[in-house]
Amino acid sequence: MRKLDLLSSTILFILALFVIIASRKFQVWVMGEPGEGFFPVLLALILGALSIISFFTAYGSRSASPLTEPGGTPIMWKKLLCYILALFAYALLFSPLGYIVSSLMILVFILRVAEGLRWTRSLTISAATLVISYYIFEKMLKVPLPRGILEWR
């Protein structure tokens, strides 16, 4: 029994169900031509059917799921969670705090906390990255980046 495939099949089935429910107000067929609901509902039905097939295939399968970590090294949960936290914090703070401030904070956080580099190294790398990236993207390429709290410029 391939456990991972059971999981993925179930998730995809739920997704298919979700699409059909979300499409309930759409018209599938309107005056002799397909409506806006035609394509999504058709796709969702196919997906639902395939996920059921996939589920039962996984159920009856003799082989086990492939290992998700090559070599079987244990997952470094702390580092992973730091990254995920940093990612979403960055996404939330990017605009309000602006590019420079948010990037500095997140870079230092990742380098110091997630990767375990020394404070001095973390700060220097972050500062250098910011200076260079700011110069390249904002000055040379004229890519507008959020100012955030450094609004005076």
Residue 105 interacts with other proteins (CB under 8 A)? no
DSSP 8-state code for residue 22: H
Contact between 115 and other proteins per CB under 8 A: yes
Residue of 86, 80, 85 whose CA lies nearest to 68: 80
Cα distances (Å, whole numbers) of residue 25 to 21, 31, 53? 9, 16, 28
Other CB atoms within 10 A of residue 112 CB: 17
CB of 80 to other proteins, least distance (A): 5
The secondary structure of residue 146, as a DSSP letter, is -
Q: Which is nearer to other proteins, 75 or 152 (CB)?
A: 75
Q: How far apart are CA 50 and CA 115, in angstroms?
A: 41
Q: Which amino acid is at 110?
A: I
Selection from 71, 74, 72, 107 nearest residue 89 by Cα = 107
- Which tokens in the block code for residue 97? 């705090």
143 binds other proteins (CB under 8 A): yes
Q: Which two tokens stand for residue 119?
A: 């404070």
- Applying CB under 8 A, does 50 fall inside the site for other proteins? yes
Nearer to other proteins, 77 or 152 (CB): 77
Task: Pick out residues in 62-81 that bind other proteins (CB under 8 A).
Answer: 62, 65-66, 68-69, 73, 75-76, 79-80
Size of the site for other proteins (CB under 8 A): 67
Site residues (CB under 8 A) for other proteins? 4-5, 7-8, 11-12, 15, 19, 22-23, 26, 29, 32-36, 38-40, 43-44, 46-47, 50-51, 53-54, 57, 62, 65-66, 68-69, 73, 75-76, 79-80, 82-84, 86-88, 90-92, 94-95, 99, 103, 106-107, 110-111, 114-115, 117, 125, 129, 133, 137, 143-146
